């Protein structure tokens, strides 16, 4: 209770900039007070009301609370996204940009020639370039070379005479030929997708089977027209595992034809099996001739492992690297829309990128129809390197639900079956499904759907213990998850929801689930405390200090500069995702300040003073203070900079 404070005391402490941090950090000296708030939609919410029994013995806090009660309180819950939030385009940062051909050292080969609208004079560019943000460049120190050259915002670390880019040849040789990030979209593949030249032989064969009328009487939408007796004969283990092996489902590729990124970046638009073939050396074995059956597909062996859920916006590659460092075993890319991938959109393909440290990695697809989902699965099967593909049947947002995707598939069992069977028939890797308890709050349907998912050929299912109507509010129903885990057997079922500490993880594993998925959680989870993976593995509460938390932000910044670039555009993109993450991180309450462990679900803390200035600054839920933290790491923000979090739960009006 001695850490509790009123709203006025909290902000007065931050304004004063009291240097009580551990060791007097130099970064705190760089904080400059903002003269005015950015906009009314970014201002602080009405002060949190603290129960009188939890306040100090003096009556000051009680008076403040009484004054706050008189404020007009529009306590309507903020949900969904800020669709009209301000967005700063890259051209706002640099009006005069240097041509990429100059940065790459081939100015004479500029594709646009005299029509190029970018600068080709390095001296002219340097005269207008914003000041450098630091003396050390993470790209130069890590890889021995910064590919951004003079455009790097830390260029003084690697620029010589006449603006020549210095290269550390010894360090650069260590990284030569190594691929740090895989699953990139090549220009040739993008051209094929945009011109509709990519061959979807397996998907087309499966979809032609769907169009055939079947004797069972339906609308021609059944995933298979085979009788139950024929399905049981083709099975090699249990009746459920062989149902996807139908005449309409094409035979899987040869086992020796694992997708190789180098050979498959540019598949031939007219080739059949040759499009995915790789030249091999050695004798022909059974694996080169005998085709795989569905029941012989590679298994997904992740039982008992910690699974970082796909997190929209914040689950980017730098954040996954942070979680991987703290002990996450399985990682998954952000939800990607299948239609955007089929169109070759670079922004959507960026969600599939995989860092070399992610040893067990999957991608999550969202779609509403079997044709696009099956084609997208075949596309990814040939062009990227993943360990599994996940179908998002748990997304609650209206944009996805109204188009028939996400949670809506739980009410469209016919389309759902066609999607699962079709994707399973064209994939060489396991197929998993993520669902919720149901659509309506008090009507659970997952226990009815899970046996069907197992029958359709999925390798694993993840169950979020909330319905669509609950979104991320209220508690997850772990008793129902335990019931579904028994129904799903022998198919693995991962549970998801309200894993706040290692005690919660232990209780979840005792429910009979095969593993746990750790997601955003409100208010705790991977986004609030990525070191939760360490706590679970080491079975302890980690009272992490503010300096350690700041070091995590430093690492995220360095990973972001590696991933998005160290030029102005890359710096501001890193800042944007850092601010999005800070909108969640501010909800963390240090373990040393809690009266009772652990922090409870859906509880927002009262205003409190941290044990040092930095800890107090990190506890602020004001956008201005998040921007201050970003300035400690990435320098001053551009003029007229504005920020509003994507999720309304983290923005106050």
DSSP element (H, E) containing 551: helix 546-564
Tokens for 69?
């009660």
| 568-585 vs 317-325: helix crossing angle, rounded to 10 | 50
List Cβ neighbours of 57 (8 Å cut-off, separation of 6 or more). Answer: none
Using CA atoms, how far apart are residues 473 and 466, in angstroms rounded to an integer? 8
For tokens 């689950």, the residue is 315
- CA 600/CA 352 separation, integer angstroms: 34
* Rounded-to-integer distance, Cα 256 and Cα 286, Å: 9
Determine the Cα–Cα distance for residues 139 and 122; give it in Å rounded to an integer. 21
Query: What secondary structure, in 3-state letters, does 322-353 show?
Result: HHHHCCCCEEEEEEEEHHHHHCCCHHHHHHHC
- Which of 249, 395, 484, 586 is labelled catalytic? 395
**Catalytic residue flag (residue 395):** yes
Q: What are phi and psi of 401, to 5 degrees?
A: -65, -40
Main-chain phi, psi angles of 106, to 5 degrees: -135, 55
Could you write out the DSSP letters of every residue in 338-392? HHHHHTT-HHHHGGG-EETT-SSEEEEEE-SSHHHHHHHHHHHHHH---SEEEEE
Tokens of 147: 């590919």
* CA–CA dist 398, 29 (Å, integer): 45
3-state SS, one letter per residue, for 423-438:
HHHHCCCCEEEEEECC
Given a contact cutoff of 8 angstroms between Cβ atoms, the answer to whether 245 and 234 are in contact is: yes
CB 526 within 8 A of CB 518: yes
Catalytic residues: 395
């Amino acid at each position: 209770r001695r850490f509790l404070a009123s709203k006025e005391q909290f902000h007065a402490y931050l304004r004063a900039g009291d240097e009580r941090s551990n060791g007097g950090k130099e970064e705190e000296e760089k904080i400059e007070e903002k003269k005015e708030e950015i906009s009314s939609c970014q201002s602080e919410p009405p002060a949190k009301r603290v129960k009188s029994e939890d306040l100090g013995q003096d009556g000051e806090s009680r008076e403040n609370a009484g004054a706050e009660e008189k404020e007009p309180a529009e306590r309507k819950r903020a949900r969904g996204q800020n669709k009209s939030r301000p967005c700063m385009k890259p051209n706002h940062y640099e009006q005069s940009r240097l041509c990429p051909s100059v940065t790459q050292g081939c100015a004479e080969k500029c594709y646009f020639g005299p029509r190029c609208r970018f600068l080709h004079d390095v001296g002219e560019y340097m005269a207008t370039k914003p000041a450098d943000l630091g003396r050390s460049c993470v790209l130069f120190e890590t890889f021995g070379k910064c590919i951004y050259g003079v455009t790097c915002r830390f260029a003084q670390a690697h620029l010589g005479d006449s603006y020549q880019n210095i290269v550390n040849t010894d360090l650069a040789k260590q990284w030569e030929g190594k691929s740090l990030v895989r699953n990139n979209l090549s220009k040739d593949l993008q051209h094929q997708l945009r011109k509709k030249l990519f061959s979807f032989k397996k998907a087309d064969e499966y979809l032609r089977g769907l169009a055939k009328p079947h004797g069972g009487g339906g609308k021609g939408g059944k995933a298979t027209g085979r009788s139950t007796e024929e399905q049981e004969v083709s099975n090699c283990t249990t009746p459920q595992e062989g149902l996807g092996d139908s005449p309409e489902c094409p035979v899987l590729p040869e086992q020796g034809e694992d997708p190789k990124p180098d050979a498959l970046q540019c598949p031939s638009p007219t080739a059949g099996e040759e499009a995915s073939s790789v030249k091999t050396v050695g004798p022909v074995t059974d694996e080169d001739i005998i085709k795989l059956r569905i029941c012989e597909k590679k298994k997904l062996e992740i039982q008992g492992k910690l699974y970082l859920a796909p997190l929209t916006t914040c689950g980017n590659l730098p954040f996954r690297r942070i979680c991987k460092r703290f002990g996450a075993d399985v990682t998954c890319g952000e939800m990607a829309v299948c239609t955007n991938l089929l169109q070759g959109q670079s922004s959507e393909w960026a969600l599939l990128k995989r860092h070399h440290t992610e040893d067990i990695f999957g991608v999550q697809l969202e779609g509403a129809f079997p044709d696009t989902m099956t084609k997208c699965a075949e596309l990814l099967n040939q062009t990227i390197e993943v360990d599994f593909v996940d179908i998002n049947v748990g997304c609650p947002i209206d944009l996805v639900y109204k188009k028939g995707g996400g949670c809506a598939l739980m009410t469209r069992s016919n389309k759902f079956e066609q999607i699962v069977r079709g994707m399973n028939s064209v994939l060489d890797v396991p197929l998993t499904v993520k669902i919720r308890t149901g659509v309506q709050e008090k009507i659970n349907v997952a226990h009815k759907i899970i046996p069907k998912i197992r029958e359709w050929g999925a390798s694993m299912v993840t169950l979020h213990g909330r319905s669509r109507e609950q979104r991320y509010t209220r508690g997850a129903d772990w008793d129902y998850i335990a019931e579904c885990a028994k129904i799903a057997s022998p198919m693995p079922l991962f549970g998801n929801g309200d894993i706040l500490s290692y005690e919660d993880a232990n209780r979840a594993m005792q429910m009979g689930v095969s593993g746990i998925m750790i997601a955003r959680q409100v208010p705790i989870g991977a986004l609030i405390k990525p070191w939760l993976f360490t706590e679970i593995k080491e079975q302890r509460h980690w009272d992490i200090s503010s300096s350690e938390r700041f070091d995590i932000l430093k690492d995220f910044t360095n990973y972001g500069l590696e991933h998005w670039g160290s030029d102005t555009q890359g710096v501001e993109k890193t800042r944007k995702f850092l601010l999005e993450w800070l909108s969640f991180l501010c909800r963390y309450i240090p373990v040393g300040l809690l009266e009772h462990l652990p922090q409870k679900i859906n509880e927002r803390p009262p205003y409190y003073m941290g044990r040092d200035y930095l800890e107090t600054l990190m506890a602020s839920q004001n956008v201005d203070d998040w921007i201050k933290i970003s300035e400690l790491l990435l320098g001053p923000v551009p003029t007229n900079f504005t920020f509003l979090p994507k999720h309304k739960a983290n923005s106050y009006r």
